[in-house]
């Protein structure tokens, strides 16, 4: 299970780093979060401890909130720029 | 002890302070005239309170002869009990019933008893609140044995308030261990039997030992108290003290202060800033009372600084003229020098005696708790402080310049009250000084030297206020000589009489100036058009001798030109500027305003009779003419000085000091006679004098009252009248019988001879013109030049202190401040900007590069976790 979680996390991380579309980046982030969730659940089972499962609930709810905010930002970017390419968003650079 | 005086004491402080607050808040609405009346009324009320306290106080002197310790009684009262009932075993019933509460109440500060020499001084002390308290940590506690020989406390239930316990404490102050044995009244609260008031400073008031401990005590039992109690942390009480000395000062300050307030109403009638003036004046009264009523050195110092601040504010009252502001600054800075020594002295007192309260320090010093160099250093530092405040050598230079302030201020602050603070302080702290006879002798020498020098300078001044200023310095020198000789009562006595006659003279001078201004304003011919000056120059010849030395350029840059006093609202022409109107010859006194220039006066006795006659009384009192006030006090000082010569530590020193004192008395009479003749006698020498008019009643009434006081104020030392002053002061300052000394009659004759011959010389020179003073000055050009330029002391200080500083300051400014400090600060800012410029490129706005950074950081953290145990030696030592 930890291996599965590691593979999923790697896919998610590479997706975040390599994809241009903001929606896909968000999806990759979700993938990484869920990989972590799997790791937590599996560890909890291996140790016979409920704490890990409990923690997953927090993680899930935070992921939901994050998606809501993230999608809202993406929509806002799309409305203003007409695209959702993350490389175009650089107005805040130093 | 009657409680009335005790409870009224804080009121004397509260009233002037309330005046300050009221004038500050509502003075604008009141307007100038009513502000003045309000301030005067408040000080008058304070004086009445002071008189009430005095009457009550003298009652208790006669009624409570047997207080074991006055402060213990009050301390118990503060603990909530009703205070011990004093049983007078030799109190005399002759109280002060017949002293009226009027202006001459100053004389009523007496207890007319005749066998009171053994009476313990009633000494009221009240702590209003504790101001600063620094507790030491519990770890500092150490145990100090306290032996209590309990004689009368076998059974607590039988304790009555008049029972006494003999308590012997072995406790250490920082001065070293010592045993103190005291008889303590047992108080209402049995729990407070022991520990309270034992050796104040060692065990704090309020220390309560438990009932169990108290009952367990037998003879020779030992108990232990924490060292914390044996030497409490630093505490500073706002405490008031009332004894004969502070009572006398209280009466002088409020009494003379009231008269001068009254005078100021008339004198300042046309000044637009009257409100500010009266606010400062009330603040000064408050400050001075803090100084004289304070129960510890810190309160004394607070008052000391406050009066200094008031002095600064009032010297520079007419601050629109830079010269006045300059004089204020000079006074402030010169005083700081003395005050710094004073503060160091206070710190030494604290570290040596472990307390700043008079009640702790002074008995310890009198008991010889401290010896060696520290016992010399403390009074020496206090002496330096006193020379600053009381204008003695070498710090006297500010006082003559302080005459830039309004004349009533000169009378109140710079003659009658504030400048005597040094004398008061030395008298108050005399046990400290007596522990170091060297310093005491130094006090006397400083005083005598100052008296002589200032009297010499006063001989040639032509500014009416400056003559008085130098005369003040000289008289303060007398007081120092007296306290240096150990004759504290004589010094304080001279302080009192001097307050009367010098306040009178200054107010008289103010009235004269007022009259002169009136004369100039209404006389048609203003001195600016030359006619006034012309007539002055004509008669000048007799008063201002010719000189060969060109001196018009000789005024040092720092020497203050006497400012253009603008009392009446009329712009007064400064004759210093009119030096261009070609005086016949070089003149050292070109900067004297016309209405202050004695060469412009003359004949004022007939034109302003009340001012003139009172001025005459004040002058004769200053000169020491029998039977006016100055005669008695000066005679007393000379007597005591010579008596020291016959004493055990006698020697030529005291004989020399006596000679100096006698010679100075002669000089005093000469310059006073000169001033009186120049101002009052002869024909008017200017239009101002010709048209001078009498001042309004608010100005003449204080003059008359002060003249009466100056005339009869000296009689309070006479045995015929019960010598009330000495009875008041002796319990505090110690009796000082001049045993084996010269006979009083001879001394009085000598002093009288000096003053009368001085006046005769003055008359010969300036009245009858038997000898032309010009000829003397011409014969002694060097002496005259030095005297007229005040012995060049200002110039000396300029050269030694002021100019080096003025050169050092720009160097520090440009090199150190701009060159080093500014560069460091600016450099810090610039380097921050530069680093920010470099780092801003990291924030490139690309989400994926941020993601990469996160990923790399995660990888780095992972590596760190994996190899943590191996790296721990490197990263986490």
Q: Mean pLDDT, to the nearest integer, of B844-862?
A: 85
pLDDT at residue B154 above 70? Answer: no
pLDDT at residue B564 above 60? Answer: no
Q: Report residue B89 as tokens.
A: 């075993």
Q: What is the distance in angstroms between the Cα of A50 and the nearest Cα belonging to chain B?
A: 24
Strands B176-185 and B143-148: what pairing? unpaired
Beta-ladder partners of B212? none
Q: Report residue A2 as tokens.
A: 């930890």
Nearest to B840 among A18, A89, A94 (CB): A94
Q: Report residue A94 as tokens.
A: 């130093």
Q: Mean pLDDT, to the nearest integer, of B845-858?
A: 84
CA distance B814 to B765: 57
Predicted pLDDT at B290: 92
Query: Which of B284, B428, B435, B441 is CA-nearest to residue B358?
Result: B428
Q: What is the distance in angstroms between the Cα of B28 and the nearest Cα belonging to chain A?
A: 58
Give pLDDT tens digits for B706-736: 888 888 887 777 665 556 677 777 767 765 5
Within 10 Å of residue B805's Cβ, how many Cβ atoms? Answer: 10
Predicted pLDDT at B740: 46
User: Is the CB of A26 inside 8 Å of chain B's CB atoms?
Assistant: no
pLDDT at residue B533 above 60? Answer: no
CA distance B661 to B490: 14
Pairwise pLDDT comparison (B29 vs B286), residue with the higher score = B286
User: Is the CB of A23 inside 8 Å of chain B's CB atoms?
Assistant: no
b/e code B822-844 from CB counts within 10 Å (16+ = b): eeeeeeeeeeeeeeeeeeeeeee
Q: Which residue has 């060159």 as its token pair? A: B819
Q: Mutual orientation of helices B421-428 and B464-484 as an angle, nearest 10°?
A: 10
- CA B490 to the chain's CA centroid: 17
CB contact under 8 A, B845 and A92: yes
Predicted pLDDT at B682: 74
Pairwise pLDDT comparison (B764 vs B186), residue with the higher score = B764
Q: Mean pLDDT, to the nearest integer, of B765-769?
A: 73
Helices (H), B435-529: 437-458, 464-484, 488-522
- Quickly state the pLDDT bin for B677 (edges 50, 70, 90): confident
Predicted pLDDT at B512: 85
CA distance B296 to B570: 47
Q: Mutual orientation of helices B373-389 and B437-458 as an angle, nearest 10°?
A: 20
Q: Report residue B36 as tokens.
A: 């003045």
CA distance B275 to B508: 23
User: Is the CB of A77 inside 8 Å of chain B's CB atoms?
Assistant: no
Query: Which of B24, B26, B20 is CA-nearest to residue B42?
Result: B20
Predicted pLDDT at B127: 66
First to last CA, chain A: 42
Percent of chain B with pLDDT over 70: 66
- Quickly state the pLDDT bin for B871 (edges 50, 70, 90): low
User: Is the CB of A11 inside 8 Å of chain B's CB atoms?
Assistant: no
- CA B608 to the chain's CA centroid: 33
pLDDT at residue B24 above 50? Answer: yes
Give pLDDT tens digits for B265-313: 888 888 888 888 899 999 999 999 999 998 889 999 999 999 999 999 9
Q: Mean pLDDT, to the nearest integer, of B89-108?
A: 34
Q: Mean pLDDT, to the nearest integer, of B423-435?
A: 90
Beta-ladder partners of B129? B238
Give pLDDT tens digits for A18-38: 888 888 888 999 999 999 999
Give pLDDT tens digits for B327-340: 888 889 889 989 99
Q: How many residues comprise chain B? A: 877
Lowest mean pLDDT across A65-79, A80-94, B335-349, B812-826: A80-94
CB contact under 8 A, A87 and B851: no
User: Is the CB of B856 inside 8 Å of chain A's CB atoms?
Assistant: no
CA distance B161 to B83: 9
Predicted pLDDT at B827: 93
pLDDT at residue B549 above 80? Answer: no
Q: What is the mean pLDDT of chain B?
A: 72
Q: Mean pLDDT, to the nearest integer, of B202-225?
A: 38
pTM of the model: 0.67
Assign B686 to helix, strand or coil. Answer: coil
């Amino acid at each position: 299970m930890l291996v599965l979680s590691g593979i999923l996390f790697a896919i998610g991380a590479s997706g975040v780093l390599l994809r241009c579309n903001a929606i896909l980046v968000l999806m990759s982030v979700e993938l990484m979060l869920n990989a972590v969730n799997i790791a937590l659940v599996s560890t909890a089972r291996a140790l016979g401890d409920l704490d890990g499962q409990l923690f997953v609930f927090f993680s899930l709810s935070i992921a939901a909130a994050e998606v809501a905010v993230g999608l809202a930002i993406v929509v806002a970017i799309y409305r203003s720029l007409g695209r959702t390419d993350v490389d175009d968003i650089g107005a805040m650079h130093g | 002890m009657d409680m009335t005086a005790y409870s009224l004491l804080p009121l004397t402080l509260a009233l002037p302070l309330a005046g300050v607050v009221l004038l500050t808040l509502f003075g604008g609405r009141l307007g100038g005239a009513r502000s003045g009346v309000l301030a005067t009324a408040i000080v008058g009320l304070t004086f009445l309170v002071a008189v009430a306290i005095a009457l009550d106080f003298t009652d208790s002197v006669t009624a409570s002869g047997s207080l074991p310790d006055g402060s213990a009684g009050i301390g118990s009262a503060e603990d909530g009990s009703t205070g011990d009932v004093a049983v007078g075993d030799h109190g005399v019933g002759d109280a002060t019933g017949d002293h009226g509460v009027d202006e001459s109440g100053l004389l009523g500060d007496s207890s007319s008893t005749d066998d009171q020499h053994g009476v313990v001084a009633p000494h009221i002390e009240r702590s209003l609140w504790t101001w600063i308290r620094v507790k030491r940590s519990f770890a500092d506690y150490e145990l100090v044995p306290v032996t209590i020989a309990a004689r009368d406390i076998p059974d607590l239930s039988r304790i009555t308030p008049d029972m006494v316990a003999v308590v012997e404490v072995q406790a250490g102050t920082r001065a070293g261990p010592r045993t103190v044995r005291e008889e303590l009244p047992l108080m209402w609260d049995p729990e407070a039997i022991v520990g309270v008031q034992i050796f104040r400073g060692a065990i704090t008031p309020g220390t309560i030992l438990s009932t169990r401990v108290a009952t367990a005590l037998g003879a020779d039992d030992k108990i232990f108290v924490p060292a914390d109690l044996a030497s409490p942390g630093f505490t500073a009480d706002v405490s008031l003290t009332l004894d004969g000395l502070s009572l006398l000062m209280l009466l002088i300050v409020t009494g003379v202060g009231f008269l001068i307030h009254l005078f100021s109403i008339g004198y300042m009638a046309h000044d637009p800033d009257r409100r500010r003036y009266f606010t400062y004046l009330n603040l000064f009264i408050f400050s001075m009372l803090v100084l004289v009523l304070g129960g510890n050195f810190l309160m004394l110092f607070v008052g000391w600084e406050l009066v200094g601040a008031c002095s600064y504010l009032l010297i520079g009252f007419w601050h629109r003229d830079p010269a006045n502001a300059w004089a204020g600054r000079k006074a402030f800075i010169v005083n700081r020098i003395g005050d710094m020594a004073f503060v160091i002295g206070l710190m030494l007192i604290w570290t040596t005696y472990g307390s700043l309260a008079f009640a702790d320090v002074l008995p310890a010093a009198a008991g010889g708790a401290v010896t060696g160099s520290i016992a010399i250093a403390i009074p020496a530092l206090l002496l330096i402080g006193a020379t600053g405040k009381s204008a003695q050598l070498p710090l006297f230079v500010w006082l003559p310049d302080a005459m830039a302030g309004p004349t009533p201020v000169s009378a109140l602050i710079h003659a009658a009250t504030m400048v005597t603070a040094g004398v008061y302080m030395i008298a108050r702290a005399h046990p400290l000084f007596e522990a170091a006879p060297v310093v005491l002798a130094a006090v006397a020498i400083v005083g005598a030297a100052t008296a002589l020098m200032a009297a010499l300078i006063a001989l040639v001044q032509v500014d009416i206020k400056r003559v008085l200023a130098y005369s003040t310095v000289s008289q303060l020198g007398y007081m120092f000589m007296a306290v240096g000789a150990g004759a504290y009562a004589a010094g304080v006595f001279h302080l009192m009489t001097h307050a009367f006659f010098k306040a009178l003279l200054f107010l008289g001078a103010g009235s004269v100036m007022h009259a002169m201004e009136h004369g100039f304003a209404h006389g048609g011919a203003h001195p600016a058009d030359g006619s006034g000056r012309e007539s002055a120059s004509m008669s000048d010849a007799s008063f201002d001798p010719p000189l060969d030395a060109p001196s018009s350029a000789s005024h040092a840059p720092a020497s203050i030109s006497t400012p253009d006093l603008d009392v009446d609202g009329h712009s007064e022409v400064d004759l210093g500027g009119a030096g261009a109107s070609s005086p016949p010859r070089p003149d050292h006194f070109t900067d004297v305003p016309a209405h202050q220039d004695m060469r412009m006066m003359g004949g004022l006795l007939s034109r302003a009779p009340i001012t003139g006659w009172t001025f005459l009384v004040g002058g004769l009192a200053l000169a020491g003419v029998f039977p006016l006030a100055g005669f008695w006090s000066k005679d007393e000082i000379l007597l005591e000085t010579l008596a020291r010569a016959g004493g055990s530590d006698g020697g030529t020193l005291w004989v020399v000091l006596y000679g100096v004192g006698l010679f100075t008395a002669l000089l005093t009479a000469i310059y006073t006679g000169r001033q009186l003749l120049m101002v009052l006698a002869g024909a008017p020498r200017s239009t101002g004098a010709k048209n001078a008019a009498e001042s309004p009643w608010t100005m003449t009434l204080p003059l008359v009252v002060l003249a009466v006081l100056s005339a009869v104020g000296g009689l309070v030392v006479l045995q015929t009248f019960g010598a009330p002053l000495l009875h008041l002061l002796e319990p505090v300052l110690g009796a000082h019988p001049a045993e084996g000394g010269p006979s009083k009659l001879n001394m009085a004759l000598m002093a009288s001879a000096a003053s009368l011959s001085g006046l005769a010389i003055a008359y010969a020179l300036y009245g009858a013109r038997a000898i032309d003073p010009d000829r003397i000055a011409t014969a002694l050009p060097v002496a005259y030049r030095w005297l007229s330029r005040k012995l060049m002391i200002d110039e000396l200080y300029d050269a030694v202190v002021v100019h080096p500083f003025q050169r050092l300051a720009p160097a520090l400014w440009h090199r150190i401040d701009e060159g080093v400090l500014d560069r460091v600060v600016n450099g810090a800012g610039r380097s921050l900007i530069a680093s920010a410029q470099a780092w801003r490129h990291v924030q490139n706005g690309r989400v994926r590069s941020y993601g990469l950074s996160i990923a790399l950081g995660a990888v780095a953290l992972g590596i760190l976790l994996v190899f943590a145990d191996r790296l721990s030696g490197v990263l986490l030592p």
